[in-house]
Amino acid sequence: MKIYDLIIIGGGQAGLSVAYFLRRSGLDYLILDDQDEAGGAWLHYWDSLKLFSPTDYSSLSGWQMPETKEEYPLRDEFIAYLKAYEARYEFAVQRNTLVHRVTKDNALFKMATNNGNFYAKTVVSATGTAKNPYLPSYPNQSTYQGVQLHAVEYRNADLFKDQKVMIIGGGNSGAQILSEVSKIAKTTWVTLDPPQFLPENIDGRYLFYQANSSFFDATTDSFNRQVSLSDIVRVESVRDGLERDVYHAVRPFASFYKEGVVWKNGDREIFDAVIWCTGFKPNLQHLEALEVVENNHIATKATRSIKEPQLWLVGYGSWTGFASGTIYGVGKTARSTARELKAHFKKRL
């Protein structure tokens, strides 16, 4: 029975980043990933997706992403970069291997997969969020007979030609998808709060070097509210949507009915389709048996599980380190995770 020092579950940007910082550690590690090629969740996002982080802020540790055609890389350009990154550092990855369940017995983790069992002394879980799309629930949702899909299932607007489509969610996904769909369909945008577009002179890069800090607005001679990673970046499709004046967000409806939604004033409106751009929750199902998951969350000190100290969590979102769910941000948390792993094994020698 082969026992690895470490198994990294998930071969997206977070898993690869951890492996990058372990290159010269001598640890016997393996990345298990359920897909048949590199690219992580990016393989599943819609065709025209433009990253909201400019090229120089869309690079993983150690190797800058090559120049892209435009300032904001296309989804396919980023996937090509991830593939090249994986090949460049020759990471040990086993593909087409889905970890169903992690258990622990006598200080050893057992990973039950579709390709048999794997054993390791430590585990880094880096399974992202894309496999756990979040859909808020509304009354009578199951009675609605129109098309419902989450942004992760959306490929392009073709399906919606000449239809009435409701887009729910006020972040970057909602704004980009709405821009595309509104070219060939009648759209209604539903958001919990008025959507926040980053000002024209502040691009996605800003988020990454001064995220969450106030910025000075010369026009009002004052400091604006805090910039947030969920603010809408004016990538090309968003600028186009703004020029076509398609962004008129309204607050949520009261319930669904068979053919559409009932607004809070009692009016009914027919919709052919609803696209949920409502985000994701961490994908932690494979860790349930370890009894560390509570409400889609694992209590950690930095990236290390408090209840299960041989387990680390990387990526997912800010609870595992500021911006660790982004390309630029994951490097920092991956580096500190690798440091902890190296220290852990050094102590045991």
Ligand X SMILES: Cc1cc2nc3c(=O)[nH]c(=O)nc-3n(C[C@H](O)[C@H](O)[C@H](O)COP(=O)(O)OP(=O)(O)OC[C@H]3O[C@@H](n4cnc5c(N)ncnc54)[C@H](O)[C@@H]3O)c2cc1C
Residues that bind ligand X (CB under 6 A): 9-15, 32-35, 40-42, 45, 51-53, 58, 98-99, 126-128, 130-131, 173, 283, 286, 315, 325-328
Min dist CB 262 to ligand X, Å, is 29
Which SS3 state, helix, strand or coil, does residue 209 take?
A: helix
Min dist CB 347 to ligand X, Å, is 28
Min dist CB 28 to ligand X, Å, is 19
Residue 44, token pair as written in the block: 């599943």
Min dist CB 293 to ligand X, Å, is 13
Q: Which amino acid is at 128?
A: G
Residue with smaller CB distance to ligand X, 261 or 313: 313
Close Cβ partners of 128 (under 8 Å, ≥ 6 residues apart):
10, 12, 14, 40, 41, 282, 283, 315, 316, 325
Rounded CA-CA distance 149/153 in Å is 6
Min dist CB 160 to ligand X, Å, is 18
Residue with smaller CB distance to ligand X, 51 or 238: 51
Residue with smaller CB distance to ligand X, 286 or 304: 286
Residue with smaller CB distance to ligand X, 98 or 289: 98
R_g (Cα) of the chain, nearest Å: 22
Min dist CB 26 to ligand X, Å, is 24
Residue with smaller CB distance to ligand X, 128 or 260: 128
Q: Which amino acid is at 29?
A: Y
Min dist CB 157 to ligand X, Å, is 16
Asked whether 180 and 294 are in contact (CB, 8 A), the reply is no
Rounded CA-CA distance 175/90 in Å is 37
Residue with smaller CB distance to ligand X, 26 or 136: 136
Which SS3 state, helix, strand or coil, does residue 263 take?
A: coil
Residue 260: φ, ψ to 5°: 180, -135
Q: Residue number with the shortest CB distance to ligand X?
A: 12
Cβ atoms within 10 Å of 310's Cβ, excluding its own: 17
End-to-end CA distance of the chain: 21
Instruction: Let me know the angle formed at the C-alpha of 61 by 231 and 65, rounded to the nearest 5 degrees.
Output: 70
Residue with smaller CB distance to ligand X, 127 or 300: 127
Beta-bridged to residue 116, according to DSSP, are 113
Min dist CB 219 to ligand X, Å, is 27
Asked whether 283 and 152 are in contact (CB, 8 A), the reply is no
Residue with smaller CB distance to ligand X, 42 or 109: 42
Instruction: Specify the pairing of strand 260-262 against strand 255-257.
Output: antiparallel
DSSP single-letter state for residue 8: E
Residue with smaller CB distance to ligand X, 146 or 329: 329
Residue (of 331, 334, 327) closest to 303 by Cα position: 334
Min dist CB 127 to ligand X, Å, is 4
